[in-house]
Copies of this chain bind each other. A is one copy, B any other.
């Protein structure tokens, strides 16, 4: 008997399957968005997609509505304003993507590792998320309040935790709640070797990665549901609109607009 997950990312292993069948929670009202920050355009194989598919499958088995966007396939502009076509760019796919970010209860950033760091696409996405962090909801809290965030990292060498540190930091800083153990990832032994979806990588069968991805996924669902059922983070002591920091509205830093 093998408990390992098969190469087909859609197949849950026994334990992952049993957790879904035994669940007494109703997550059917939740929406999740995965932003895959691979550097590779379709149709190249994205290993990060491989790991995203596992978390996505668990969510879908629990009736969460899931969307995945491979960012590099879209003409997302670079900058720190909500719509860069107003700042010299010919086109910008971000405003459309942001609608999905805004609609999602759960946001997961997926990134590969290059030279020990998250991808430039991942940083570009965070810059764009940050651009909207000066916006507030109808209670005057930052717009991302009441949502939960996590991350998935793949590489063939080293750097899962370092990438996760920066990503989870950014998400909580702009308003997301980070539930316990909200990161998971896979890397092989140090040095040259197979990537996650490569045959024989050991990635899809890796106990640690499977456990962490499973725990992350459930914790994201639990916390998103809890926040939804309890009206988010109470709006007191954290309302930007009620705290006058004397900000100049023309500052490029969105926190200070």
Contact = CB atoms under 8 A, between A and B. Distances in A.
A234 B248 contact: no
B238 A218 contact: yes
Contacts of A187: 158, 189-190
Interface string A154-186: 001111111011101110111111111111011
Contacts of A181: 142, 172-173, 175, 238
B237 A115 contact: no
A127 B116 contact: no
Interface in A227-257: 230, 233-234, 236-238, 243, 245-248, 251-253, 255-256
Interface of A: 15, 19, 22-25, 39-41, 44, 72, 78-80, 87-89, 114-121, 123-124, 126-127, 130, 141-142, 144-145, 156-162, 164-166, 168-170, 172-183, 185-192, 195, 202, 206-209, 211, 214-215, 217-219, 221-223, 226, 230, 233-234, 236-238, 243, 245-248, 251-253, 255-256
